């Protein structure tokens, strides 16, 4: 598209590492798009802001981000391999947001490319509203152009230059006429007056058909299909023309829902309104620092305007507004409603922030990403880099909120989580390249816990005498295991002042501290009631520390006497797959000691399997599920409870 629009002098290829929007070294290494790219350019009499989203499933978060601010969604479908799993997921997401959708069947110049099979697949998945506007002229290496089904013209291409003709090739003439009539019948149904005239035998002009098509596309009743070849620049101009002349302008799309105090409003895209901008993504540039990509939802932004970040309340001056073309930034003076621009040198802006005039209460709801399901523990290889690593991880998450960093106080690990193993590995590569930190990785430790096997009564005695003021405290404590998630209860059942009331809490604190230090296997103790029954004190030597020690020693004696059992964390697992794979998924979860709790229909021939599975059994599950379902499975994990771990013997 950029080549056809004259923005670049030659078309780039992902496999050659010279595409405008694949700017990261990781993308060049893997020869695939991994991050959301922005290209703002002009075609004919309009400006197009192109958000290029990665297609790999691990990076679907960026595609969801793009849909949050897009006015139109273009689905580029491979004419050889057809629809991919991610296409179905994103189509549904676009439909939920009422975003008009158009399909461009690409790679029609390749061997085994099939327009008919790809179109049939589109209709099978998305319905009869899928409407081809073109037919290919020629196949594979003989693919030279398209027949426009509305005008019945043929557009042929030679090294990117287009020639239009009224003469249809003989081998597609009959089919083209048939498809033209079918298209006209579908389009005239959009407008009652056109339908009436058509039924009366009137000829409907191409401009009238285009007007109705525009209405049907914007309203979501028709999903046009074009075809061509990006590498050969065939029919790319058709797609650009469609976006400029058929697709709705920003002012014609439904208003954006914004929060206004405790309520909500619909904000129309009006250049004369109050300025409001939504930061949908931040990116770190090695030369200019953080670049905030934002969509202007209302009003007009000017360089040096001062707006308020609604999250922090901080005033932000827009020192530099930028027109973005991949990694190239061009300063501009203004940006109007509907535009997508960049800004640099902002104080504390992050992904999801709303920039509004001083005194405004309007806020845009940010994208809600699914919780990441794959994790790995990370640590700096050099102890001196630990602080640097923390800062770097925070910046990575700022640029990519689908990542998550958790510092686990129980296992003392820093865990980096992402949508899958590829997502996490790319983040680690970026970490080392961008920040120069060598990272050591290891599997995520499972946060096991322990509880007592049986009720028991013990005595904790702490006595220390070394001349002068000594230490003395004795506590008799009954320990009882509680039901799961029972927590820790401390009860004072002493009588007669055997332990001064002021020192009783110290016993409970000592027990709690000993619980945190762990049981026989070194895991924290939980689900325990400690009842102080009796004790002894000394008027001079007894103090808070002495009875904390007495409480701790009583618990250690209880552990030695009755032992503990290990509790393992259990996750709620929700797996959405095609119904044909339900049995495979349920069997696999069973092998992982999972308990199937039920199934729910998920629509479009899919089912969601719900199960409780020990956390230790799902550490690698995202990778296994992708392999088992060929990428068609979707996974959600959340902590559910602790349960007794079976004896590993």
**152: CATH:** 3.40.50.300
Q: If pLDDT is split at 50, 70 and 90, which confidence band does 14 have? A: low
What's residue 468's pLDDT?
67
Domain membership flag for residue 1: no
Q: Which of 32-41, 340-349, 585-594, 632-641 has the lowest mean pLDDT?
A: 32-41
Do 436 and 576 lie in a common domain? Answer: no
DSSP symbols for 546-615: HHHHHHHHHHHHHHHHH-EEEEEEEEEEEEEEEGGGHHHHHHHHHHTT-EEEEEEEEETTEEEEEEEEEG
Full residue range of the structural domain in which residue 205 is found: 72-246
Report how many domains make up the chain: 5
173 pLDDT more than 90? yes
Do 468 and 433 lie in a common domain? Answer: no
Region of 605 (left: φ > 0; alpha: ψ -120 to 50; beta: rest) is left
Domain membership flag for residue 16: no
Do 143 and 241 lie in a common domain? Answer: yes
Q: Between 277 and 385, whose confidence is greater?
A: 277
Round to whole Å and give the CA distance between 335 and 293.
12
- If DSSP codes are grouped into helix, strand and coil, which group holds residue 142? helix
Arithmetic mean of pLDDT, 52-67: 91
Joined together, the tokens standing for residue 320 give 């530099």
Q: How confident is the model over 470-512, as pLDDT tens digits?
A: 899 999 999 999 999 899 999 999 999 999 999 999 999 999 9
Alpha helices in 220-364 (DSSP H): 236-245
Task: Report phi then psi at 561, rounded to 5.
Answer: -80, -45
**Contacts with 71 (C-beta within 8 Å, 6 or more apart), sequence order:** 99, 100, 247, 248, 249, 250, 253, 338
189 pLDDT more than 50? yes
Task: Report phi then psi at 6, rounded to 5.
Answer: 80, 15
Arithmetic mean of pLDDT, 285-310: 93
Do 407 and 346 lie in a common domain? Answer: no
Mean residue pLDDT of the chain comes to: 93
**Contacts with 287 (C-beta within 8 Å, 6 or more apart), sequence order:** none
Domain end point (choices 382, 416, 442): 442
Domain membership flag for residue 388: yes
Q: Between 231 and 17, whose confidence is greater?
A: 231
DSSP symbols for 22-58: --SHHHHHHTS--S-EEEEEEETTEEEEEEE---SGG
Cα–Cα separations (whole angstroms), residue 44 to 339, 398, 449, 565: 17, 36, 66, 73
Domain membership flag for residue 14: no
Joined together, the tokens standing for residue 519 give 């049981």
Round to whole Å and give the CA distance between 286 and 283.
10
Domain end point (choices 306, 335, 364): 364
Domain membership flag for residue 456: yes
* Distance, CA of 134 to chain centre: 34
Percent of the chain with pLDDT strictly greater than 70: 98
Joined together, the tokens standing for residue 424 give 């996490």
Do 514 and 417 lie in a common domain? Answer: no
CATH number of the domain that 388 lies in? 3.30.70.870
Cα–Cα separations (whole angstroms), residue 483 to 192, 292, 293, 618: 68, 50, 51, 25
Q: How confident is the model over 205-244, as pLDDT tens digits?
A: 999 999 999 999 999 999 999 999 999 999 999 999 999 9
- If DSSP codes are grouped into helix, strand and coil, which group holds residue 164? strand
Task: Name the residue among 231, 226, 5 with its Cα closest to residue 101.
Answer: 226
Round to whole Å and give the CA distance between 562 and 567.
16
Task: Name the residue among 645, 591, 577 with its Cα closest to residue 620.
Answer: 591
CATH number of the domain that 533 lies in? 3.30.230.10
Do 96 and 239 lie in a common domain? Answer: yes
Alpha helices in 220-255 (DSSP H): 236-245
pTM of the model: 0.86
What's residue 406's pLDDT?
94
Q: If pLDDT is split at 50, 70 and 90, which confidence band does 161 have? A: confident
Q: Between 561 and 255, whose confidence is greater?
A: 561
Check if the beta carbon of residue 427 is closer than 8 Å to that of residue 403.
Answer: yes
Q: Between 145 and 14, whose confidence is greater?
A: 145
Task: Name the residue among 187, 358, 140, 338 with its Cα closest to residue 255.
Answer: 338
Arithmetic mean of pLDDT, 160-178: 90
Q: If pLDDT is split at 50, 70 and 90, which confidence band does 467 have? A: low
- Highest mean pLDDT among 76-80, 368-372, 394-398, 431-435 belongs to 76-80
CATH number of the domain that 266 lies in? 2.40.30.10
DSSP letter, residue 623? H
Arithmetic mean of pLDDT, 597-622: 94
Task: Name the residue among 32, 33, 68 with its Cα closest to residue 53.
Answer: 33
List beta partners, residue 554: none
Arithmetic mean of pLDDT, 271-279: 95
649 pLDDT more than 50? no
Do 307 and 422 lie in a common domain? Answer: no
CATH number of the domain that 614 lies in? 3.30.70.240
Round to whole Å and give the CA distance between 390 and 396.
10
What's residue 17's pLDDT?
64
Round to whole Å and give the CA distance between 229 and 178.
24
Domain membership flag for residue 42: no
Burial class (CB in 10 A: 0-12, 13-18, 19+), 134: buried
32, 398, 353, 334 alpha-carbon torsion, rounded to 10°: -60
Domain membership flag for residue 47: no
Do 101 and 239 lie in a common domain? Answer: yes
Joined together, the tokens standing for residue 277 give 């901008």
What's residue 648's pLDDT?
59
Alpha helices in 449-570 (DSSP H): 504-517, 544-562
Q: Which of 139-148, 258-267, 546-555 has the lowest mean pLDDT?
A: 258-267
Domain membership flag for residue 10: no
- If DSSP codes are grouped into helix, strand and coil, which group holds residue 434? helix
Cα–Cα separations (whole angstroms), residue 363 to 38, 268, 297, 325: 23, 14, 11, 28
Do 466 and 600 lie in a common domain? Answer: no
Do 543 and 603 lie in a common domain? Answer: no
Arithmetic mean of pLDDT, 312-340: 94
Sign (positive/negative) of CA torsion 520, 521, 523, 529?
negative
Domain end point (choices 340, 364, 388): 364
Q: If pLDDT is split at 50, 70 and 90, which confidence band does 86 have? A: confident
Check if the beta carbon of residue 555 is closer than 8 Å to that of residue 511.
Answer: yes
Check if the beta carbon of residue 104 is closer than 8 Å to that of residue 75.
Answer: yes
Do 424 and 499 lie in a common domain? Answer: no
Do 557 and 620 lie in a common domain? Answer: no
Cα–Cα separations (whole angstroms), residue 228 to 10, 125, 184, 210, 542: 17, 21, 22, 20, 87
Round to whole Å and give the CA distance between 645 and 250.
57
């Amino acid at each position: 598209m950029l080549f056809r629009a004259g923005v670049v002098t030659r078309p780039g290829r992902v496999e050659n590492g010279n595409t405008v929007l694949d700017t990261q070294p990781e993308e060049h290494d893997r020869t695939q798009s991994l991050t959301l790219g922005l290209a703002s350019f002009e075609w004919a009499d309009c400006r197009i802001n192109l958000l290029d989203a990665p297609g790999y499933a691990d990076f679907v978060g960026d595609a969801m981000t793009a849909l949050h601010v897009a006015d139109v969604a273009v689905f580029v479908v491979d004419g050889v391999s057809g629809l991919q799993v991610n296409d179905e997921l994103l189509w549904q997401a676009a439909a939920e947001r009422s975003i008009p959708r158009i399909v461009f069947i690409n790679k029609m110049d390749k061997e085994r490319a099939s327009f008919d099979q790809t179109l049939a697949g589109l209709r099978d998945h998305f319905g009869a509203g899928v409407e081809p506007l073109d037919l290919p002229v020629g196949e594979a290496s003989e693919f030279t152009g398209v027949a426009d089904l509305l005008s019945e013209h043929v557009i042929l291409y030679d090294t990117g230059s287009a020639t239009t003709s009224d003469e249809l090739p003989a081998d597609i003439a009959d089919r083209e006429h048939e498809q033209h009539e079918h298209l006209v019948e579908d389009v005239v149904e959009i407008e009652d007056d056109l339908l009436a005239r058509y039924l009366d035998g009137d000829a409907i002009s191409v401009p009238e058909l285009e007007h109705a098509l525009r209405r049907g596309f914007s309203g979501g009743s028709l999903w046009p299909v074009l075809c061509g070849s990006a590498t050969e620049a065939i029919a790319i101009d058709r797609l650009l023309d469609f976006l400029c002349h058929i697709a709705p302008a920003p002012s014609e799309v439904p208003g954006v829902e914004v929060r206004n105090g405790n309520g909500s409003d619909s904000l129309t895209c009006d250049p004369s309104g109050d300025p409001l901008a939504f930061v949908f993504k931040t990116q770190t540039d090695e030369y200019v620092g953080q670049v905030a990509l934002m969509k202007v939802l209302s009003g007009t932004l000017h360089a040096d305007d001062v707006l308020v970040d609604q999250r922090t309340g901080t005033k932000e001056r827009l020192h530099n507004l930028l027109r973005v073309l991949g990694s190239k930034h061009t300063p501009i003076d203004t940006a109007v409603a509907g535009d997508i621009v960049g800004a640099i040198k902002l104080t504390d802006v992050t992904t999801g922030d709303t920039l509004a005039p001083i005194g405004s209460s309007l806020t845009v709801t940010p994208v809600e990403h699914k919780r990441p399901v794959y994790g790995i523990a990370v640590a700096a290889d050099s102890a001196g880099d630990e602080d640097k690593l923390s800062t770097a991880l925070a910046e990575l998450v700022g640029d990519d909120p689908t990542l998550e960093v958790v510092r686990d106080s129980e296992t003392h690990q820093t865990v980096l989580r992402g949508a899958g193993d590829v997502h996490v590995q790319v983040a680690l590569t970026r970490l080392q390249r961008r920040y120069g930190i060598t990272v050591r990785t290891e599997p995520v430790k499972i946060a096991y816990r322990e509880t007592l096997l049986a009720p028991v009564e013990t005595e904790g005695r702490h006595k220390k005498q070394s001349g002068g003021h000594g230490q003395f405290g004795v506590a008799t404590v009954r320990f009882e295991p509680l039901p799961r998630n029972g927590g820790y209860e401390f009860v004072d059942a002493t009588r007669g002042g055997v332990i001064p009331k002021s020192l009783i809490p110290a016993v409970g604190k000592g027990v709690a501290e000993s619980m945190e230090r762990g049981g026989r296997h070194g895991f924290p103790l939980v689900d325990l009631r400690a009842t102080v029954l009796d004790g002894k004190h000394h008027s001079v030597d007894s103090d808070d520390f002495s009875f904390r020690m007495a409480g701790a020693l009583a618990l250690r004696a209880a552990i030695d006497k009755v032992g503990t059992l290990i509790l393992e964390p259990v996750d709620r697992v929700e797996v959405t797959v095609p119904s044909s794979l339900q049995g495979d998924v349920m069997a696999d979860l069973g092998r992982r000691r999972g308990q199937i709790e039920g199934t729910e229909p998920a629509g479009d021939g899919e089912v969601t399997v719900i199960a409780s599975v020990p956390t230790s059994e799902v550490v690698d599950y995202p990778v296994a599920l992708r392999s088992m379902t060929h990428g068609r499975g979707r996974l959600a994990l959340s902590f559910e409870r602790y349960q007794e771990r079976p004896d590993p013997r």
